[in-house]
Structure 1
Amino acid sequence: MTRSGPLTRFNPAQPGTAGMKVVATGLLVAMAALFVITRALEPRYPWLGYVKAFAEAAMVGGLADWFAVTALFRHPLGLPIPHTAIIPRNKDRIGAALATFIRDNFLVARVVARRMRGIDVAAAAGRFLSTPSGEGTRMRRGASRLIADMVEALDDERLGGIVKGAIAQRIARTEVAPLLGAALASAIEDNRHVPMLEAAIRALSRALDANEPLIREMVRKRASWVLRLAALDDKLADAILDGLRKLTVEMSADPNHPVRGKMVEALTALADDLQHKPETRARVEGWKEELLANRSVAQWLDRLWQRGRATIIAAARDPDAAMAGRMGEVLRSAGATLESDPRIRAAVNQFTRRAVAGMAASYGSSIVTLVSETIRGWDARTVTERLESAVGRDLQYIRINGTIVGGLVGLVLHLLDTL
């Protein structure tokens, strides 16, 4: 049993090929019959010599071309004549030559990059994304179903573990302290820290109201027995609470309050320490590692993965709904940007060109080996039938043309001989 697979069931009789073979063979038989008839009648009708010469040469030309065409694919009449059945005997060499041709003309990084320069991949992707309906709908739905089936078919536990592990490793390799410090410094510089300060002041005011009994108890415990005896501890607690409430109100109403300034100075110092102070950066990294080792973080990552997986499958199963929602707006916006922005389009095309050229350089030899091994695995009959079916109609035209041209040459030679 060969490795040809479905190719062994290939039907060699494409429409028109068998019919043209009958025409070519019928024309050869007709020339043979015409030669026999004119040869018998020539003594009575001398002018039939011209017809006989045409038929004779046509018969020879048709037979020669029949032999040449047949010799490409098999032994004529089953006779093992040398240099016949060329394709079956040289199947492996043809496969190697085809693989080499593909490698030298399609899978060389330099050639691929040159060919890719004329292809505007970014514009095509932009048109595809920005068009919610039309000719791209069928392709989008097919691609969406394929993505959904692939995501559902993959092992959820293994794939989820890979994704969660990749996220955790990415976070672990990223030093977060400088990022936090830069973000905080940028927020202070653009006055985006003000809402955060005001929220902190409001939180402080609510904390005072919520913890008033606790504050009074703390004052009572720390007051001397003289104050408690004179019942002055309650008045002291009232004064402290009133002073703190007044402070929060003044801080909230006055953007230039000194305490607010001190808070901004503290935040600025913290932003600088997060970016440049090794002790602070090391402390934050320690907190990050403790956080990643916490079981609740692993559970959060698992919930995040499950929600993301469900969202991907739902969007892929219903691409029209996905394109109609916010995701669709994002995709259409991205498509419009790809179409209209030449800088982004050039960058995407350059990235695509480099990626395809890199794939050709990395996997070109593997593709060449695959083509060569696949053709070598086909049996000779399969290759013969497939090639003969692909060019069979033109090959029969060669036979017909050979018959006619041979007859015309014979007629001219007979005419010259007569003259």
Structure 2
Amino acid sequence: MRLTATGLLVAMAAAFIFLNRYSGTHPAWGYVLAFSEAALVGGLADWFAVTALFRHPLGLPIPHTAIIPANKDRIADTMAAFLRSNFLTPQVVARRLHGFNIAASAGAFLTDPARGGESRIRAGAAGLFADILESLDQERLGGMVKAGLRRQIEKIDLAPLLGQMLTNAIADKRHIPVLEAMIRWIGGMIEQNETLIRDMIHERANTIMRWTGLDERLANGVLDGTYRLLAEILVDEHHPLRSKAEEALHGLARDLLEDPEMQARVESWKAEILANPAIGHWLDGMWERSRQALLRTVRDPDKALSGSIGLSLGELGKALSEDRRLQQLINRFSRRTLVGIVSRYGDEIVRIVSETVRRWDAKTVTARIEGAVGRDLQFIRINGTLVGGFVGLCIHGLEKLL
């Protein structure tokens, strides 16, 4: 389009030069000459106007040109303020979400992600989201996500939650497979370290026992008795030691739910774990993996939603589409969550946008804005050339009539 607009301008210049030489040969040439002259002026004026938005025309530092590069910081602040006031206020988000069935829409998408009427919109939205996610400051954005996740974990009252989970597991007998797995693990560890156990018994036996060979018999007896005890605990659901273990689990669940000292101890352990640098590294890795997985999903949603994962998500989508109570719960939670996120992090989000645009150099800002506007910029030049020509034609006609 740039070549077309420039070619039209060159054509008007060539026509003006040619017709200016032969203007007296026929009365009609005067109209054509007026058209080409006015079109040349209009085309040059609009070329200057369009160019002055993004750069200095012909590289000359003319005042009030290269407007966008010179004001990129103000543009960044204006974009951030516009985003904050029109999209990221709790009132706007609540109003937009009112009456919008988020759960049903998500269910329809998961059930049939390649729906024909929505595929282009979905692909465009996914591409836009991926571009935004890649262009934002990853360190700042990741830090915001990790800080929010850490704060949510700190707010969780962990001891009662663990106590309730343990109580429910015991009531449903879900602890039995875990208990039996631990018994098998103990048996396996003893079997793997049987030589070490025998050596320990031999070293602690006195000389007479070693001389008479009783130490070997003692080692065999200890190992055989241990294996027999573990087997009895494993097969006998009413074994006294198994009952003791279950009593201990009941007591632990009760302490987690009711004992302030146990609850304070769990909170102390949680604080120590969160303060450990290894948790920070783990959160870094989890955020980066989540970001990359999200990018892969939005870049190629059809591939990401294929296979067994796609089937599982399809079942989830069916439940979301048909279960009214589930929709109400999810919609209420989504609205509260989104409004809360906007209320807490709206300023931080727009600050990231503003600082990201500020860090772009003038060339990057110019290229991105010019590319976003696209062909319409060149249509301004084309229209200026043609409109200028018709105006010149009308003026010449009026001049002849008067």
TM range (shorter): 0.5 to 0.7
Alpha-carbon contact 1:182-1:275 (below 8 Å) kept? yes
CA shift, 1:331, in A, is 4.9
Q: Which runs of 5+ in 1 are unaligned?
A: 1-108, 364-419
Distance, in Å, in 2 between the alignment partners of 1:211 and 1:351 is: 53
Provide the C-alpha distance between the structure 2 equivalents of 1:163 and 1:176, rounded to a whole number of angstroms: 21
Are positions 1:296 and 2:278 aligned together? yes
The structure 2 residue matched to 1:141, chosen from 115, 120, 123, is 123
1:246 aligns with 2:228: yes
Q: C-alpha separation between the residues in 2 aligned to 1:250 and 1:241?
A: 14
> Greater shift after overlay, 329-338 or 263-272?
329-338
Residue number in structure 2 paired with 1:161: 143
Contact 1:129/1:334 (CA < 8 Å) preserved in 2? yes
**2:288 alignment counterpart:** 306
1:92-131 equivalent positions in 2, closer than 5 A: 123=104, 126-131=107-112
Letter in 2 for 1:205: G
- For residues 399-414 of structure 1, what are the structure 2 equivalents within 5 Å? none
Q: What residue in structure 1 maps to residue 217 of structure 2?
A: 235
Alignment-mate amino acid for residue 158 of structure 1? R
Count of paired positions? 254
Identity across matched positions, percent: 45
Alignment-derived partner of residue 268 in structure 2: 286
Q: CA deviation at 1:234?
A: 2.1
Which residue of structure 2 lines up, in the alignment, with residue 180 of structure 1?
A: 162
**Pair 212,345 (structure 1): closer, same or farther in 2 beyond 3 Å:** closer
Of 261, 265, 276, the residue aligned with 2:247 is 265
Letter paired with 2:272: E
- Structure 2: distance between partners of 1:306 and 1:139: 27
Q: Secondary structure at the match of 2:116?
A: coil
* Letter of the structure 1 residue corresponding to residue 224 of structure 2: D
Distance of aligned partners of 1:249 and 1:328 in 2 relative to their CA distance in 1, 3 Å threshold: closer
Q: Cα distance, 1:284 vs. partner?
A: 2.2
Amino acid corresponding to residue 292 of structure 2 in structure 1: A
Deviation of 1:173 (Å): 2.4
Q: Does residue 1:320 correspond to 2:268, yes or no?
A: no
Q: Is the 8 A contact 1:140 1:319 kept in 2?
A: no
* 1:221 Cα deviation from its structure 2 partner: 3.8
When residues 142 and 331 of structure 1 are mapped into structure 2, their CA distance, relative to the original with a 3 A threshold, is: farther
Q: Structure 1 pair 219/142, CA: closer, same or farther in 2 (3 Å)?
A: same
Judged with a 3 Å threshold, the aligned counterparts in structure 2 of structure 1 residues 155 and 230 are, in CA distance, closer, same or farther, namely same
Match for 1:281: what amino acid? Q
Question: Structure 1 residues 153, 329: CA separation in 2 closer, same or farther (over 3 Å shift)?
Answer: farther
- In 1, Cα distance between equivalents of 2:124 and 2:96: 28
For structure 2, the residue ranges without an aligned partner over 5 or more in a row are 1-89, 347-402
Q: Secondary structure at the match of 1:191?
A: coil
Summarize deviations over 1:139-158 as a string: whole Å, max 9, x none: 11111111111111111111
- Quickly say closer, same or farther: Cα 1:119–1:293, change in 2 above 3 A: closer
State the distance in 1 between where 2:179 and 2:338 align: 51
- CA gap 1:309/1:269 in 2 versus in 1, 3 angstroms: same
SS in 2 for 1:135: helix
Q: Per-residue deviation at 1:134?
A: 1.2
CA distance in 2, matches of 1:135, 1:173: 43
For residues 212 and 267 of structure 2, what CA distance do their matches in structure 1 show?
Answer: 53
